[in-house]
Amino acid sequence: MIILGLTGSIGMGKSATAAMFAEAGVPVYDADAAVHEIYAKGGLAVAPLAERFPGVVVDGAVSRQRLRDIVLEDPDALKDLESIVHPLVGETQSRFRRDAMHSGARLAVLDIPLLYETGGDARCHYTAVVSAPADIQRARVMAREEMSEAEFDKILAKQMPDADKRARADFVISTAFGFDFTRTHVNAIIDLLSAMETHPA
């Protein structure tokens, strides 16, 4: 089974692109959904995060907004957060890979926002970056009700520049020209990788 790592900076259209892979029948691991699962009431991250970051648990679940407000201003807090969350998310990814392999899939996608930043690309056979021009990216993000210019700039500062991601990727998928254009590229990647010799997961 071939593992394709899918990533892209905020506002680039990564989630919509990942959905296109899933619609085509490719198993897709959603790292954000995995984090939501362990942050939810009863989730594995609730107790350790409540101990390290008092006040971030509301009604039994982790408040991502409160957590974000803390770690965006404190690099040490971010490191502590990652040391707690990454191993737990890693367990969910391992389960996904096993299930995809057992299903007989020739290709599986790991949708991971910080794929390169966390070294996750080392566990993939190939990587694809979802990209769009900076002005389109900014317009998409600023259309979100909860987003401010200052917060957007802070998030960008934590992410690898888009140009660096594109330089490292095996595939670049543009979302600048509409869904049909993007879907054409997604299907071409699926056809190419599905036809290649499979690898151990």
- State the pLDDT at residue 70: 87
Residue 44: other Cβ atoms inside 10 A: 18
- For range 128-154, the mean pLDDT: 91
Q: Kindly state the average pLDDT of the residues 7-34.
A: 96
Distance CA(63)–CA(68), nearest Å, equals 9
| Torsion angle of the four alpha carbons 4, 5, 10, 13, in this order, in degrees rounded to the nearest 10 | 10
For 32, counting Cβ atoms within 10 Å of its Cβ (0-12 exposed, 13-18 middle, 19+ buried), the class is middle
Share of the chain above pLDDT 70, in %: 98
3-state SS class at 9 = coil
Please check the confidence at residue 71 and state whether its pLDDT lies above 90: no
Ramachandran region of residue 128, left (φ > 0), alpha (ψ -120 to 50) or beta?
Answer: beta
Confidence of residue 4 (pLDDT cuts 50, 70, 90): very high
Least confident of 9-13, 56-60, 97-101, 152-156: 152-156
Measured between alpha carbons, how far is 149 from 138 in angstroms, rounded to an integer? 9
How many Cβ atoms from other residues are within 10 Å of residue 56's Cβ?
22
- 3-state secondary structure at position 65: helix
Q: What is the mean pLDDT of residues 64-91?
A: 88
pLDDT of residue 72 exceeding 90, the answer is no
> pLDDT for 105-133, tens place per residue?
999 999 999 899 889 999 999 999 999 99
SS3 57: strand
Question: Alpha helices of 8-147 — where are they, by DSSP H?
Answer: 14-23, 31-39, 46-52, 64-71, 75-102, 134-142
Cα(183)–Cα(108) distance, integer angstroms = 17
Contact by Cβ (8 Å): 12, 117:
no
Q: What is the pLDDT of residue 197?
A: 66
Domains of the chain with bracketed CATH: 1-27+106-201 (3.40.50.300), 32-102 (3.40.50.300)
- The average pLDDT across 62-80 equals 87
What is residue 148's predicted lDDT score, i.e. its pLDDT?
Answer: 87
CA 100 vs CA 40, 104, 190: distances in Å: 25, 7, 15
pLDDT at position 156 over 90: no
At residue 39, the pLDDT reads 95
The half-sphere exposure of 66 on its side-chain side, counting CA atoms within 13 A, is 12
Indicate the pLDDT class of residue 151, thresholds 50, 70 and 90: confident
